[in-house]
Structure 1
Amino acid sequence: MKDKILFQIKRLTHKMYFNIEEDGDNFIFHLKKGVPFSTSYLVFKHQKTGKRISKEIKSSKAVISLDELNELDEFGRFNVFVKVLVMNKIFIQRIKFVFQNSNKMIFDKKNHCILESLQSKYFNLSFIYKPSEFTAKATEFKKENNQILLKGEIETYDDIDFNSVEILIALTSQWKYIPCNWEMDGKAIKFDATIDFEIDEEDIGNRHYPRIRLKKDDIVIDNTRIKAKNIEISKIDDKYLDYIENFSSSEETIPEEEAKDLDESEYCSMLCIGADSNLIFEILNKKEINKMIKNENRLLEHFSTLENKKLVFFEGFDGRFYAGQSRYIYEKLLELGYDKYFDFVWSYSGDLDIPGNPIITDRDSRNFKKLLKDCEYWITNINFPRLKDDEEITHLQSTYGTPYKCMGTDVKTNSKKIKNDRINLGPGKLNYLLTANDFSKEVFKSAFGYDGKIINKGYPANDIFYHSNAKKIEQIKKDLNIPKDKKIILYAPSFRDVELSDEKERNYNLLLDLKALHENLSEEYVLIARLHYLLLKDLEIEDEMREFVINLSDYDEITDLYLISDVLITDYSSAFFDYAHSKKPILFFVPDKESYSGFRGL
C-alpha cells in the first residue's frame, strides 16, 4: 500500500506546473496544476555549478527575487524543480514549461542584468540570467504598402559607445538584419525601421519575434527582445483581416471572396502581443489568408453545431507532413464514415489539401493549445511535446519504423546531447502504443520505459502494398515529372546521431557518391533522395545532376516513393522493413558499419 501511495505522489509531482507573474524585481510562481503538498519547495538550480535557491511553496505560490539570485554570483542557465517531502521521502521533479510562461523577463537595472524564461529541449522550464546593457520597447507598429514601419525606444543603464542599431529577425534558413534610423533623446535611443515583407516563402504565416541590438562598428554590444506595452497600432484596413480579428464575436462564416481582391504579390501583417508583452508579428499573403479564412469557418462550424461532435487530434512527424500511421488511421475512419460522429483536427504546416475537411492547426498557431485541450483523442506518431493533463484524453502513439538498432535508454552513451534526446513514455503519458511486430513491441517497452497497453497489429501504412496500385503509381510519377522511360532508385539513409562532445555540433555526411552514380546510371535511372525528416535541407545538388537526383526529403508520404521506386538503397534505416512488403530489391550501403554499429548496437 505504501508503495502505491508513493507512486501516486510521484505522478502528482510530475504533473505540477506554475504560471509566472512579473512583479518588480520578483518572479511569483503560482501553482496552477497539481496538489499543493503540505511541505514543498520551488528550487532554482544553476545547471553547471549546482548552486541553488530553495523557496517554500506557501498558499500555492513561491517568490524568487533578483537579490537572492545575485547572492549566488552566477550567470547562465537555471533549471527549475519542485521538491516535495512526504512520508519521509523526498521527490524532486523538473517543472514543465507551459506556453503562458514564454519569454518572461525581469530587468535588473542595479546590476545590469536580465532574467528570462525559456523552454528546454525536453519542454521543461529554465531561466537564463545574463548581463544586459539596455531594454527596448516598441511605440508604434503599422502597415504601409508591403512594409511594416516599426518605431520604438531603447533605455540604457549607462552611457554606451555605439554607432548603429539593428533589428534581428530569425527566418527559417537565415537571420535577417535590418538597419534602423536612430537619435539620442537624453539617455534614451529613439529608433525606427522598415521591415520588408518580401521574405522567404517558407516564412510566410510564421510568427516572428524581433530582437534589437546595438553595435560599435562590427562589434555587437548586446541584443534583447522588444517589449510592446502601450504600443500605438494603426488600424488594419484590409477587410478580410478585420473579419479574422472580430471572429470571436462573429456568428456567421467569413466570406472567402473577401480575400480575392488581394493581389498574389501583395502581403499584409498581423500584430500579436505575447502574454509577456513582447512584440510578435506575422506576415501573410493571399494564400495564407485564404487558408486562415477557410479554417476559421471550419472552427465556427464545429463550435456552433448542435450535434456537439467529439474532436479527434492527428499529427505526423511534428506536423511537418500529412503522413505516417496517423494519416492511414484517419483515412480509414473517413472511409468507415466516422466523420458523422467526430470532427477531426490535423496539426499540419504543409500545403496539401487534406481530405475530409478537417480543422487545420499547427504547433505555431494561436489556436493549437486550445484545440489540443478540446480534443478527446490524440493520435500521433513520434515523441509528442505536450503531456496530456486530463484523464479524459485518450492518446494513441502510433510510432513508425522497426527498432532493430538501439534506441532511447538502450543507447549506451556518455553524450549529454544524446541522453537529452531520449524519449520516455512512462506512466500517464500514453494510453496505447501501436507496434508493427512482436520484436518492436519488446524493444519499445525497454527503450522508452513504457508499461502501458500495446496494440501489436502491424502498421496501417503498409496495407497499400497488398492493393492494386498501377493507376496510383502512374499519377505519382506524373505529379513528380519523372520520365516514364526511367527506372527509379530510392535512397533513404538513416539518421546519424553520431556521438560527439557537447561543444561540437552533430555532423551528417552523405556517404553515397552521387557523382559516380550520375556518371554510370543517369541514362537509365533517376535517383530520389529521401533524407530523415530532421535533415530536410542538408542535401545540396550540383546543377549538372539536377535531372538525375531529385531531393524529395520534404515529400509528405514516403510510402508513395516506395510504390514508384524500383530499388531501395539504404543503410541502417528501418525503411527496409516497410519496403520489404513491396518484394522489390533492397541494397545496403554501409561503409561505416563498424563505427555506427559500435555506437548504436546493430
Structure 2
Amino acid sequence: MNQQWSQFYKDAGSKQVILFGMGKMCEWFLNYGTNVNIKALIDNSPSKVNRNIFSIYPNLKEQHVQDPIIHSFEDVTSSADTSQFILLITTRYDDEILKGIDIDSFYNVYSLPKMNNDLVTKREQYDKLPLVDKKVVVFADVYGEHGKAITQKLLQMDDTVDVVWIVNKRPSDCSRKVRLVYRYDFESYYYEISTAKIWIVDLSVDADIKKKSGQIYFQVKHWSSITLKKFSCEDMKWASMPGAVEFQKKEAARTDYILSGSQFDEDSCRRGFMYNGPFVRVGSPRSDIIFQPEIKNVVRNKLGISEYKKVLLYAPTFRVSKDESFAHQHTEQGIDFELLRDSLTNKFNGEWIILLRLHPSVASSADGIKLPDYVKNVSKYDDSQELVACCDALISDYSSIIFEAAYVYKPIFLFTPDLDEYLKHERQLLLDYRELPFPISVSNGELKRNIEAFDEVKYRKCVENLFNKYQVHEDGHASERAAEFILGLMNFKGKL
C-alpha cells in the first residue's frame, strides 16, 4: 500500500472516502484534511454506531460529509460497491483492522498513522534543507488582510521574491506570481515553511511547527491600527480555554516582530500576546485601499451597483455562544432596512443600496435571511476592505471595521440594541464604547434620529481627536513601508 499524503489526495480527487475509526485521529483529519468528499463514517464500537459525529466532536469544522451518522463496517460495505471508494483508517489499531478486511475490495486503502509516520520522515529531511533568503510564506485562512496588501507591494517592488501562501481554499483574485499551497497538502506545506526565510503570520502557526535558526517570524495580525475588543490573553473567555495561555507564551517567544500602526496597537499587543519584542510601526497595510478613490467604482462594478447610487455597508460582528464551545453565532438585531434607507435619503439625498456583511466566521448564516431587493448579501465577499472603500457610509456594532472607515471620515453609526447585554457578558473592550465619536443607537427610531442629525464638521473633529489621542496616523502607504522592511530582512543576514 502507498501510504503517502500526496498519493492519498491524488486518489481522493476522483473517489469518495470512507473513514474507519471515530477517535481523536478522525477528529484531527476532519478538521485539517480538507477538500475530501466523505461518503461514510464507520466504527465498530456500539457506543458510537448510530450517533451523529457532531454530537461527539461539536467543534468540528464544516466538512464534505454526506452522512454525519456513524455506521458499522458491515452496514456500509454490505450495501455499497466498495471498489469505488477509498478506505482511510483513522485509528492506531490500523494493523488489526487491516488484517480483518479484504483490502482488494476497495479502490485503495490508507492508514492515517502510517501516512503521518511517512510525513515525519519527510519533515526531518526538510528541516535539513537550507533557507531561501528571498522566499516568504504567508500563513492565513484566506487570501486577504495585511498579508494580501504586503504581498502585492512586495511583488511590485521586487518581482523576484518567491511568495507562497498557505490557504484553505483557492482565492478568486490572487496574483499569478503568488504560489498557493493548500493547508491540507501536508508535504508541500512542510517543505515551504521549512525553506522560507520569512514567515508572515496572520494570527498563529501550528504549535508543532518549529522555527529554524535564521527564520524570521513576522506577526501581522488581522486588525488595523486600533481595535475595539480585547483579544488573546486579555480576553478572559479565550484565556480560560485549556492550554490557551501556554500556547500564546510559546507563540510570543518565537515571534521576532509584530506589525503595528499606533502606540495603542503596541500596548494592546504586548498585553494580549504576552509579547516583549520589537514592533514595526508602519500603519495598517490592509487599509491602504480605502485611500484609493478609483477602487470605489471597481468594487461597485463587481457587485453590479451603478456609480450613481449611494452605498451603505452594514457590518455587524458575531456573538459568542454561552455554552462551553465559545462558538461564533450570528444574532439578528432587527434592523429596519426600509426605515434606514428612507433616513439615509432624507439626510444625504440620492438612491441608496445597502450591503449586508456578516463576520466571516458566521457568513453562511446570511444564506437564509430574507432581504429586500435594495439589500445585497455580501457576507461571502472575500475582501472586507474593498467593501469599506466602496461604501459612502457604514453601520456596525462592535466590529473594529468602524475605525477603517473613519480613517477617511466616512459617516459611521452604531446600531446596538443589545448594548448593555454585550458590554456586561459578551466581550471586554479596550476602549470606552460610549466615548467613541460614532452615534450609538439602541433602536431603529434612535438610528433614524442619529442619521438625520449627523453633523459632518463636528464628526470630523471628534474622529481626529480620537486618532490623535491613540497616535493613529494612516496615510495609505503602510503596505509600502512594510514591504520595504521585509526586503531589508531578506538582504540582511540575521535580524534588523
Same-fold call, TM cutoff 0.5: yes
Aligned to 2:422: 596
Pair 565,519 (structure 1): closer, same or farther in 2 beyond 3 Å? closer
Pair 422,495 (structure 1): closer, same or farther in 2 beyond 3 Å? farther
Counterpart Cα distance in 1 of 2:190 and 2:403: 35
Match of 2:275 among 445, 450, 455: 450
Pair 176,194 (structure 1): closer, same or farther in 2 beyond 3 Å? farther
Aligned to 2:474: none
Residue 577 of structure 1 pairs with residue 399 of structure 2: no
Q: Please say if residues 309 and 351 of structure 2, whose CA atoms lie closer than 8 Å, have aligned partners that are also in contact.
A: yes
How far did residue 177 of structure 1 move?
A: 2.7
Structure 1, unmatched stretches of 5+, are: 1-102, 106-113, 124-146, 198-206, 213-223, 236-270, 280-306
Q: Please say if residues 435 and 454 of structure 1, whose CA atoms lie closer than 8 Å, have aligned partners that are also in contact.
A: yes
The AA in structure 2 aligned to 1:595 is: E
Counterpart Cα distance in 2 of 1:544 and 1:484: 22
Counterpart Cα distance in 2 of 1:371 and 1:414: 30
Bigger fraction of residues in strand: 1
Pair 388,148 (structure 1): closer, same or farther in 2 beyond 3 Å? closer
Pair 414,480 (structure 1): closer, same or farther in 2 beyond 3 Å? closer
SS at match of 1:597: helix
Match of 2:78 among 157, 175, 191: 191
Match of 1:231 among 103, 118, 135: 103
Match of 1:345 among 153, 159, 164: 164
Match of 1:459 among 284, 290, 294: 284
Post-superposition Cα deviations, 1:262-301, rounded to whole Å, max 9, x if no partner, equal xxxxxxxxx683442599xxxxxxxxxxxxxxxxxxxxxx
Aligned to 1:375: 196
Aligned to 1:8: none
How far did residue 365 of structure 1 move?
A: 2.1
Pair 594,179 (structure 1): closer, same or farther in 2 beyond 3 Å? closer
Aligned to 1:258: none
SS at match of 2:259: strand
How far did residue 513 of structure 1 move?
A: 1.6
Counterpart Cα distance in 2 of 1:429 and 1:179: 41
Counterpart Cα distance in 2 of 1:488 and 1:514: 16
How far did residue 350 of structure 1 move?
A: 2.9
Match of 1:481 among 304, 308, 311: 304
Q: Please say if residues 147 and 202 of structure 2, whose CA atoms lie closer than 8 Å, have aligned partners that are also in contact.
A: yes
Counterpart Cα distance in 2 of 1:153 and 1:173: 16
Aligned to 2:62: 172
Residue 388 of structure 1 pairs with residue 278 of structure 2: no
Counterpart Cα distance in 2 of 1:504 and 1:463: 33
Post-superposition Cα deviations, 1:474-503, rounded to whole Å, max 9, x if no partner, equal 2221111123342111112233336x2427
Q: Please say if residues 490 and 530 of structure 1, whose CA atoms lie closer than 8 Å, have aligned partners that are also in contact.
A: yes
Pair 556,503 (structure 1): closer, same or farther in 2 beyond 3 Å? closer
How far did residue 345 of structure 1 move?
A: 0.6
Q: Please say if residues 329 and 460 of structure 1, whose CA atoms lie closer than 8 Å, have aligned partners that are also in contact.
A: yes
Q: Please say if residues 253 and 275 of structure 2, whose CA atoms lie closer than 8 Å, have aligned partners that are also in contact.
A: no
The AA in structure 1 aligned to 2:235 is: V
Pair 506,209 (structure 1): closer, same or farther in 2 beyond 3 Å? farther
Counterpart Cα distance in 1 of 2:339 and 2:90: 46
- Aligned Cα root-mean-square deviation (Å): 4.9
How far did residue 117 of structure 1 move?
A: 4.8
Residue 365 of structure 1 pairs with residue 182 of structure 2: no
Larger radius of gyration: 1
Counterpart Cα distance in 1 of 2:236 and 2:331: 23
Residue 325 of structure 1 pairs with residue 325 of structure 2: no
Counterpart Cα distance in 2 of 1:148 and 1:444: 40
Q: Given the two structures, how large is their TM-score scaled by the length of structure 1? A: 0.51
How far did residue 233 of structure 1 move?
A: 7.8
SS at match of 2:67: strand
Residue 433 of structure 1 pairs with residue 258 of structure 2: yes
SS at match of 2:138: strand
Q: Please say if residues 312 and 378 of structure 1, whose CA atoms lie closer than 8 Å, have aligned partners that are also in contact.
A: yes
The AA in structure 2 aligned to 1:529 is: L
How far did residue 441 of structure 1 move?
A: 0.4
How far did residue 586 of structure 1 move?
A: 0.8
Counterpart Cα distance in 2 of 1:543 and 1:466: 33
Q: Given the two structures, how large is their TM-score scaled by the length of structure 2? A: 0.60
Counterpart Cα distance in 2 of 1:364 and 1:328: 24
SS at match of 2:248: coil
Pair 411,565 (structure 1): closer, same or farther in 2 beyond 3 Å? same
What is the percent sequence identity of the aligned residues? 20
**Number of positions where the alignment pairs a residue of Structure 1 with one of Structure 2:** 368
Aligned to 1:50: none
Structure 2, unmatched stretches of 5+, are: 1-18, 32-36, 55-59, 117-130, 432-496
Q: Please say if residues 180 and 191 of structure 1, whose CA atoms lie closer than 8 Å, have aligned partners that are also in contact.
A: no
The AA in structure 2 aligned to 1:452 is: G
Matches within 5 A, 1:15-164: 116-117=24-25
Post-superposition Cα deviations, 1:43-89, rounded to whole Å, max 9, x if no partner, equal xxxxxxxxxxxxxxxxxxxxxxxxxxxxxxxxxxxxxxxxxxxxxxx
Pair 444,494 (structure 1): closer, same or farther in 2 beyond 3 Å? same
How far did residue 432 of structure 1 move?
A: 0.8
Aligned to 1:496: 319
Aligned to 1:531: 358
How far did residue 445 of structure 1 move?
A: 0.3
Q: Please say if residues 227 and 265 of structure 2, whose CA atoms lie closer than 8 Å, have aligned partners that are also in contact.
A: yes
How far did residue 537 of structure 1 move?
A: 0.9
Counterpart Cα distance in 2 of 1:504 and 1:443: 22
Pair 148,420 (structure 1): closer, same or farther in 2 beyond 3 Å? closer
Q: Please say if residues 312 and 376 of structure 1, whose CA atoms lie closer than 8 Å, have aligned partners that are also in contact.
A: yes
Q: Please say if residues 20 and 88 of structure 2, whose CA atoms lie closer than 8 Å, have aligned partners that are also in contact.
A: no
Pair 183,328 (structure 1): closer, same or farther in 2 beyond 3 Å? closer
Pair 489,353 (structure 1): closer, same or farther in 2 beyond 3 Å? closer
The AA in structure 2 aligned to 1:538 is: S
Q: Which structure is richer in relative contact order (CA contacts within 8 A, separation 6 or more)?
A: 2
Counterpart Cα distance in 2 of 1:182 and 1:496: 38
How far did residue 514 of structure 1 move?
A: 4.8
Match of 2:174 among 354, 357, 366: 354
How far did residue 405 of structure 1 move?
A: 2.9
Q: Please say if residues 354 and 376 of structure 2, whose CA atoms lie closer than 8 Å, have aligned partners that are also in contact.
A: yes
How far did residue 436 of structure 1 move?
A: 1.5
Matches within 5 A, 1:391-402: 391-401=213-223, 402=226
Bigger fraction of residues in helix: 2
The AA in structure 2 aligned to 1:191 is: S
Q: Please say if residues 155 and 189 of structure 1, whose CA atoms lie closer than 8 Å, have aligned partners that are also in contact.
A: no
